[in-house]
Structure 1
Amino acid sequence: MRNSDIIQNILQEAQNSNYLINPGSNKMYGDLKKMYWWPVKAKNQVPSRLLQPIMILEWKWERVKMDFISRLPLSPRKKDAI
């Protein structure tokens, strides 16, 4: 039996068991995580790169950025942007 078959059996048993009350997927995941461990596929992960230094500003107002949000529901003062 391959590892992926074993993992599928464990997950199906946990989900379909008559003895298990499933209050939510997070709870079931937490319970399974305490009892079982298997490696996670790394094929879809982005390869890590060298860290980039953060630019340290010399003056606190040297660079300021602002975000604008518009098309919001109208406020009591008839405004639709932040």
Structure 2
Amino acid sequence: MYQDHKRKFWWNGMKRDVAEFVSKCQVCKQVKAEHQRLGGLLQPLEIPEWKLEHISMDFVVGLPKSRQGQDGIWSPLYWDEVGEKAVVRPEIVQITIYKVTIVREKLKAAQDRQKSWEDLKRRPVEFNVGEKAYVKFSPVKGVVQFRKAGKLNPCYMGPFEILEKVDTLAYRLALPSNVS
């Protein structure tokens, strides 16, 4: 706006006045994208729990005697699916647990590395209940939203009141009934 107006008009403090007007203008807030870093730090997904973390081990005795004269076995049981069990030899369970531990450590290291890089390009954002916020949306190409086309087509809706904080970056808003 300043670049457009400075060709025809000029006064002392014009750049500051234009910036102040744009910061308070409702239409400008809906149309202009802020040139800031992305809001909200990266929230990595939880590493899934492995099904062999819940292992039960039993001694089964009273079996027919083996050639060595033993009538019992040590059997680790693990939960395969809900309500199903499978019997596995102890050495296979130990090898599998070791490999899964390594995979989980590598996943955690990769997530930490990705988060540290992404957070450099982001800024922490937190809203409080009762504040008002704009919601950014991406209109489908070729579809005219709000009967405006081109440069003044708004990419933000609002402001909407924040009713509650659901999660770290999730909020419940008071949306009007005509917004689906």
TM-score relative to the length of structure 1: 0.28
Larger Rg belongs to: 2
Structure of greater relative contact order (alpha carbons < 8 Å, 6+ residues apart): 2
Write 1 or 2 for the structure with the bigger share of strand: 2
TM-score by structure 2 length?
0.16
